[in-house]
Amino acid sequence: MKGYTLWLTGLPCSGKTTIANRTAEILRNFSIDVVVLDGDIVRKKITVDCGYTREGRDKNITRIADICELITNNNVINIASVVSPTKKIRDYARKNIKNFSEIYIKCPQTICEKRDTKGYYKDYNQGILKNFVGKNIVYEEPKNPNLILETAIKSLDECCIELISHLFTRWSEDYL
Protein backbone atom coordinates (compact mmCIF):
# COMPACT_ATOMS: atom_id res chain seq x y z
CA MET A 1 0.00 0.00 0.00
CA LYS A 2 1.32 3.45 -0.91
CA GLY A 3 1.42 6.38 1.44
CA TYR A 4 -0.82 9.35 0.92
CA THR A 5 -1.39 12.80 2.43
CA LEU A 6 -4.85 14.27 2.88
CA TRP A 7 -4.22 17.98 3.56
CA LEU A 8 -7.28 19.44 5.31
CA THR A 9 -7.34 23.23 5.14
CA GLY A 10 -9.98 25.70 6.27
CA LEU A 11 -10.82 28.36 8.80
CA PRO A 12 -10.26 27.66 12.50
CA CYS A 13 -13.17 25.62 13.90
CA SER A 14 -14.42 24.61 10.43
CA GLY A 15 -14.24 20.90 11.34
CA LYS A 16 -10.78 19.88 10.11
CA THR A 17 -9.63 18.07 13.24
CA THR A 18 -12.99 16.42 13.86
CA ILE A 19 -13.05 15.06 10.30
CA ALA A 20 -9.38 14.01 10.47
CA ASN A 21 -9.80 12.09 13.72
CA ARG A 22 -13.04 10.38 12.72
CA THR A 23 -11.67 9.44 9.29
CA ALA A 24 -8.53 8.00 10.90
CA GLU A 25 -10.69 5.99 13.31
CA ILE A 26 -12.69 4.53 10.41
CA LEU A 27 -9.56 3.65 8.42
CA ARG A 28 -7.92 2.04 11.47
CA ASN A 29 -11.03 -0.15 11.87
CA PHE A 30 -10.00 -1.62 8.50
CA SER A 31 -6.39 -2.12 9.70
CA ILE A 32 -5.10 0.80 7.64
CA ASP A 33 -2.24 2.69 9.28
CA VAL A 34 -2.98 6.41 9.62
CA VAL A 35 -1.17 9.32 11.25
CA VAL A 36 -3.09 12.50 12.09
CA LEU A 37 -1.06 15.70 12.27
CA ASP A 38 -3.19 18.32 13.99
CA GLY A 39 -1.76 21.80 13.56
CA ASP A 40 -2.45 22.80 17.17
CA ILE A 41 -0.78 19.70 18.60
CA VAL A 42 2.23 19.89 16.27
CA ARG A 43 2.68 23.54 17.26
CA LYS A 44 2.73 22.60 20.97
CA LYS A 45 5.10 19.64 20.54
CA ILE A 46 7.40 20.31 17.55
CA THR A 47 7.14 23.86 16.28
CA VAL A 48 6.94 25.83 19.52
CA ASP A 49 9.69 28.13 18.21
CA CYS A 50 7.70 29.32 15.20
CA GLY A 51 5.44 31.97 16.72
CA TYR A 52 2.37 33.48 15.09
CA THR A 53 3.85 36.00 12.65
CA ARG A 54 3.34 35.32 8.95
CA GLU A 55 6.90 33.98 8.74
CA GLY A 56 6.38 31.86 11.84
CA ARG A 57 3.14 30.44 10.49
CA ASP A 58 4.79 29.61 7.16
CA LYS A 59 7.71 27.92 8.96
CA ASN A 60 5.25 25.87 11.04
CA ILE A 61 3.28 24.72 7.98
CA THR A 62 6.48 24.00 6.04
CA ARG A 63 7.62 21.69 8.83
CA ILE A 64 4.26 19.94 8.89
CA ALA A 65 4.45 19.45 5.11
CA ASP A 66 7.96 18.04 5.47
CA ILE A 67 6.74 15.59 8.13
CA CYS A 68 3.86 14.58 5.85
CA GLU A 69 6.33 13.97 3.04
CA LEU A 70 8.36 11.63 5.27
CA ILE A 71 5.28 9.74 6.43
CA THR A 72 3.92 9.42 2.89
CA ASN A 73 7.30 8.21 1.60
CA ASN A 74 7.15 5.46 4.24
CA ASN A 75 3.87 4.15 2.84
CA VAL A 76 1.58 5.44 5.55
CA ILE A 77 -1.53 7.57 5.13
CA ASN A 78 -1.48 10.83 6.98
CA ILE A 79 -4.10 13.44 7.49
CA ALA A 80 -2.84 16.95 8.13
CA SER A 81 -5.39 19.16 9.84
CA VAL A 82 -3.91 22.62 9.37
CA VAL A 83 -5.39 26.05 8.67
CA SER A 84 -2.60 26.72 6.10
CA PRO A 85 -4.06 30.11 5.19
CA THR A 86 -2.11 30.96 2.04
CA LYS A 87 -1.97 29.52 -1.45
CA LYS A 88 1.81 29.79 -1.29
CA ILE A 89 2.14 27.47 1.70
CA ARG A 90 -0.41 24.98 0.35
CA ASP A 91 1.48 24.96 -2.98
CA TYR A 92 4.66 24.13 -1.04
CA ALA A 93 2.93 21.09 0.45
CA ARG A 94 1.49 20.02 -2.91
CA LYS A 95 4.86 20.36 -4.62
CA ASN A 96 6.83 18.42 -2.01
CA ILE A 97 4.44 15.59 -1.18
CA LYS A 98 4.09 13.23 -4.11
CA ASN A 99 0.80 11.53 -3.15
CA PHE A 100 -1.27 14.50 -2.05
CA SER A 101 -4.81 15.86 -2.02
CA GLU A 102 -5.84 19.30 -0.85
CA ILE A 103 -9.18 19.10 0.93
CA TYR A 104 -10.97 22.37 1.59
CA ILE A 105 -13.09 22.18 4.72
CA LYS A 106 -15.49 24.97 3.82
CA CYS A 107 -17.58 26.58 6.51
CA PRO A 108 -18.91 30.12 6.99
CA GLN A 109 -17.06 32.06 9.64
CA THR A 110 -20.28 32.65 11.58
CA ILE A 111 -20.69 28.88 12.02
CA CYS A 112 -16.98 28.50 12.93
CA GLU A 113 -17.45 31.09 15.67
CA LYS A 114 -20.42 29.16 17.08
CA ARG A 115 -18.32 25.95 17.09
CA ASP A 116 -15.40 27.63 18.89
CA THR A 117 -14.77 24.98 21.57
CA LYS A 118 -11.21 26.25 22.22
CA GLY A 119 -12.25 29.86 22.69
CA TYR A 120 -10.11 31.30 19.86
CA TYR A 121 -12.73 33.62 18.39
CA LYS A 122 -13.83 34.72 21.85
CA ASP A 123 -10.20 35.52 22.79
CA TYR A 124 -9.71 37.46 19.56
CA ASN A 125 -12.95 39.41 20.01
CA GLN A 126 -11.89 40.29 23.59
CA GLY A 127 -8.45 41.44 22.44
CA ILE A 128 -6.61 38.59 24.17
CA LEU A 129 -5.53 36.94 20.91
CA LYS A 130 -3.87 39.42 18.55
CA ASN A 131 -3.26 37.48 15.32
CA PHE A 132 -6.02 35.19 14.13
CA VAL A 133 -6.68 33.67 10.73
CA GLY A 134 -10.07 34.67 9.39
CA LYS A 135 -10.11 37.88 11.40
CA ASN A 136 -7.05 40.11 11.00
CA ILE A 137 -5.06 37.50 9.07
CA VAL A 138 -6.54 36.69 5.66
CA TYR A 139 -7.46 33.11 4.80
CA GLU A 140 -6.99 32.64 1.05
CA GLU A 141 -9.79 30.30 0.01
CA PRO A 142 -8.45 27.47 -2.20
CA LYS A 143 -9.30 27.96 -5.87
CA ASN A 144 -8.82 24.37 -7.07
CA PRO A 145 -8.83 21.92 -4.16
CA ASN A 146 -9.10 18.22 -4.91
CA LEU A 147 -12.22 18.02 -2.74
CA ILE A 148 -14.51 20.46 -0.91
CA LEU A 149 -16.34 19.34 2.21
CA GLU A 150 -19.01 21.82 3.32
CA THR A 151 -19.37 21.16 7.03
CA ALA A 152 -22.25 23.59 7.53
CA ILE A 153 -24.52 21.48 5.31
CA LYS A 154 -23.07 17.95 5.60
CA SER A 155 -22.86 15.73 8.65
CA LEU A 156 -19.58 14.46 10.05
CA ASP A 157 -20.30 10.97 8.70
CA GLU A 158 -21.10 12.33 5.23
CA CYS A 159 -17.84 14.28 5.18
CA CYS A 160 -15.81 11.27 6.32
CA ILE A 161 -17.41 8.96 3.76
CA GLU A 162 -16.70 11.49 1.01
CA LEU A 163 -13.09 11.87 2.16
CA ILE A 164 -12.49 8.12 2.32
CA SER A 165 -14.12 7.66 -1.09
CA HIS A 166 -11.81 10.36 -2.48
CA LEU A 167 -8.77 8.64 -0.96
CA PHE A 168 -9.67 5.22 -2.35
CA THR A 169 -10.44 6.68 -5.77
CA ARG A 170 -7.04 8.41 -5.87
CA TRP A 171 -5.31 5.25 -4.71
CA SER A 172 -6.98 3.09 -7.34
CA GLU A 173 -6.32 5.58 -10.14
CA ASP A 174 -2.74 6.47 -9.39
CA TYR A 175 -1.06 4.50 -6.67
CA LEU A 176 -1.98 0.81 -6.60
- Positions annotated as catalytic residues are 84
Contacts of 146 (CB under 8 A, 6+ apart): 101, 102, 103, 166, 170
> Distance between CA atoms of 114 and 49, rounded to whole angstroms?
30
Residue 138 CA from chain centroid, whole number: 17
Collapsing DSSP to helix, strand or coil, 75 comes out as: coil
d(CA 89, CA 54): 11
Mapped onto helix, strand or coil, the DSSP state of residue 136 is coil
Check if the beta carbon of residue 104 is closer than 8 Å to that of residue 10: yes
Helix axes 16-29, 156-170, angle to 10 degrees: 60
